[in-house]
Amino acid sequence: MVTKDEVLSMIRELSQDDLKEVLATGILLIQNPEKGIGTALFESVFHIVPQPCVELAVVDKIGNPTRVLLTRRTADDPTYAGKIHCPGTYIRKGETTPVALERCVRRELGVGLTDYRFATHYNNPVSCGGDDPGDGRNRHTVGLVHLVQLSGEPTTQVERKWTNAIPSDLLRGHQDFLKATLPGWDKTNQPLFGPLFG
């Protein structure tokens, strides 16, 4: 039996055309990609094709929002560790937008949603929606931003706060789409959260 290291050594010796053919064949052998494809493969694919995602502006009232819920990623999160952001997720194979929104709310906040409304979109060919320019990630994301109203208060242990302003410690890309989503709201110079490590 051929080992993984031997296969990788052979792959590195292939021409670009042969490499593309081998990878295309290998990807088609993945079973149940709608259940996730693993971080390493996702990150690899993410650097060569645009990724559709949903971003959630969780508000108290969709018709007349007066507060938005922001969360902080954990210190060991593989992306944006400790950063303040709006919940969001990539759309998986076979998912509709409502299914992706519901999955994100349940996973990140532990509740359901009672209503949602499309608000705006972004198409960023050089970074992810939360990336700061020039951070070297070289991602291309297409984000569908929705106002979302929850079915109750979040039940997960994620650090979170409601606010009526766009704080300075929110991911820069999220500041931009919240400004577009919540007209009249201004960015403040004040952070909403304290230091991750006190």
Which pLDDT tens digit goes with each residue over 21-61?
988 888 888 888 878 788 788 777 777 888 899 999 999 99
Q: pLDDT tens-digit profile of 138-175?
A: 678 899 999 999 999 999 988 999 999 999 889 988 99
Quote the CA–CA distance of 154 and 151 in Å, as a whole number.
Answer: 9
Residue 44 near residue 11, CB atoms below 8 Å: no
Spans of all domains in the chain: 49-181
Quote the CA–CA distance of 55 and 121 in Å, as a whole number.
Answer: 9
Residue 57 near residue 68, CB atoms below 8 Å: yes
Instruction: Name the region of 22 (left: φ>0; alpha: ψ -120 to 50; beta: rest).
Output: alpha
What SS3 state is found at 19?
helix
Quote the CA–CA distance of 44 and 31 in Å, as a whole number.
Answer: 18
Q: CB under 8 Å to 1, separation ≥6 — which residues?
A: none
Q: pLDDT tens-digit profile of 67-94?
A: 999 999 888 877 778 889 999 999 988 8
Residue 83 near residue 192, CB atoms below 8 Å: no
Instruction: Name the region of 94 (left: φ>0; alpha: ψ -120 to 50; beta: rest).
Output: left
Q: pLDDT tens-digit profile of 103-131?
A: 999 999 999 999 999 999 998 876 655 55
Return the CA Rg of the chain: 19
For the domain spanning 49-181, the CATH number is 3.90.79.10
Q: CB under 8 Å to 70, separation ≥6 — which residues?
A: 84, 85, 86, 160, 161, 162, 163, 167, 170, 192
* Residue-averaged pLDDT of the chain: 86
